[in-house]
């Protein structure tokens, strides 16, 4: 459910509980085929919503929020929350401790990397795959 610029999502441990997350706080959204729904990773508390990624992206974009970048068929990333990128494994990391990560297509990685390189002020690119972020 979307109200203005917030998204109501189900709590991971207790799916009967819902909570609101401001759309700009979303780090990434991942469609899980096995559960037929999206996992919403954010800076507050991660959660789940049943339904297709396309449906939820249309709902989110209808609010005017366009901050989620298409990097894979099942994944949308908010570049403003990326803190590290790993070129070898085509991954983006989130949070100061890089505790959240997502893998994307090579094409999506290149697009995100180009966008981040042009627009990021405080972002680190990890060209050396031997130096991996802890997660």
The number of folded domains in the chain is 1
102 domain residue, yes or no: yes
Q: What is the CATH number of the domain that holds 99?
A: 2.40.50.1020
135 domain residue, yes or no: no
101 near 81, Cβ under 8 Å?
Answer: no
132 domain residue, yes or no: no
Residues 37-67: pLDDT tens digits? 999 999 999 999 999 999 999 999 999 999 9
58 domain residue, yes or no: yes
6 domain residue, yes or no: yes
DSSP 31: E
Distant-in-sequence, close-in-space partners of 22: CB < 8 Å, separation ≥ 6: 5, 6, 44
Pairwise CA distance, residues 2 & 22, whole Å: 10
Pairwise CA distance, residues 30 & 52, whole Å: 10
Containing structural domain, residue 110:
2-126
133 domain residue, yes or no: no
Residue 88: what pLDDT? 85
105 domain residue, yes or no: yes
Residues 78-133: pLDDT tens digits? 999 998 888 889 999 999 888 999 999 999 999 998 888 765 545 566 655 444 44
Is 0.95 topped by the overall pTM? Answer: no
134 domain residue, yes or no: no
Residue 97: what pLDDT? 87
């Amino acid at each position: 459910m979307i109200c203005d610029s917030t998204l109501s999502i189900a709590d991971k441990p207790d799916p009967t509980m819902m909570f609101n997350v401001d759309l700009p706080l979303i780090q990434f959204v991942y469609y899980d085929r096995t559960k037929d729904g999206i996992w919403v990773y954010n800076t507050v508390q991660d959660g789940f919503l049943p339904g297709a990624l396309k449906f939820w992206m249309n709902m989110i974009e209808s609010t005017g929020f366009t901050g989620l970048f298409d990097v894979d068929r099942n994944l949308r990333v908010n570049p403003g929350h990326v803190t590290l990128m790993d070129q070898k494994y085509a991954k983006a990391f989130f949070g100061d401790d890089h505790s959240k990560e997502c893998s994307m297509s090579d094409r999506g990685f290149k697009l995100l990397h180009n966008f981040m390189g042009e627009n990021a002020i405080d972002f680190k690119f990890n060209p050396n795959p031997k130096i991996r972020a802890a997660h």
